[in-house]
Structure 1
């Protein structure tokens, strides 16, 4: 490839509001829906992550995630293209392949990081990295602790949806606490509401449905005005369907899906993920009877 060659044609930059991708939801609460994502939303998300993660052209991103989801495609491929960094897609996200890549940033989902934590030699090889990032689901606190001990890194957790891209993340220069997904990205707004739509205090304890707004939101569902109306408030906030808490410092904790993951007991609302974390932290976890 001759890097000095240039095209003899130029084309105008497309409208930022033009659709760049149509990605389909996972369908956890119904049939999958086509999510129309604009060029503007993708650029806003990736630029905000560059700010949060200090992402530069000097980085080598390593991952083995599927290339048809937001995590693997938008963050994992369009991100390096946007920021001019290198990418090593290792195929299958196996611990040994991650260990051999020599990257500065690594992306994974909790299943991947659990496998890395269970392979100490591979995990220790990641000590030379700059940032380990987990997303797409909640990372068990036990895996967070194991990775911190083996790799020397407190993993960065972030939160987003197909409809919103990434809206909340721990920062490279900020605290990284197990069970939390960080703070709002630049330009993003979040708030909590109760079952009647009333405000919920950001005291780190009170739970409410998480609503988000900002430049990373999608343009709407493909040919589904009914779904658009159901998922958006009258004043333009997107209803995530996730129950969360927000601390006084702006840190977010995702408790679970409002429709499936909440258990009411003795007047309290308990997230299924909290019970899972408690079981994983039990001294008897992993021992055979």
Structure 2
């Protein structure tokens, strides 16, 4: 069920493209999502934004004027937090949807190129094909053998695209079936919270259906980069500055002495656990001051 606001959804060119984000549970997630909304209004103002939330969430009037549409997500047993991403096709009002996590900030005004790159008849996301190794604590080779699939895709589900239609519905139905029937293989708690992570189910569905994914080179600028294992971070959505160095291939315990240091210029900064806190807080204050909203202590 959707609840439209006073103005209609704006249409970009001849296609109805829009962003959707999830803000369920506490007011904290609403405030995060509002920062994302403001960054979208700053750097991609022609595409509308839909916020998915609980029926009990109280949304201040000064927030509502920047949200193009509000959609309520009814509770489903066993589905909390990020696992509800697997239900976004049920609630999106758009023909073409880009889901964005609430802890992301749009730093650049180059989203047209990403929308063009993501064009697909169904679900689309960056993601790498894998047949071995460990992910979310499970053995990938063992999981794909038990599921009877050729491979999985590892991904960060902070940003993904889908086009409404039968192919998208089939993809999400496949992911939900994996939740229903294969929790023992794929079920991992998200960041030590008592909620299942969505990414293993998406990754397995991508492999099961042989769904194509896209890739980016650092030189072209990826759609998103997480801020974990990173340094030399220079982000500013007003000057459209986006520079970050990610570290990888660690020699010790998966987090010490990296062998790789890669510079990126992502469009979205994905502030996992809101780190670095000082950078996120500064951007939050900038956005809220600019749009006339009270500051939020992240």
TM-score normalised by length of structure 1? 0.26
Of structures 1 and 2, the one scoring higher in RCO (CA 8 A, sep 6+) is 2
- Compare the two structures and name the one with the higher helix fraction: 2
TM-score normalised by length of structure 2? 0.26
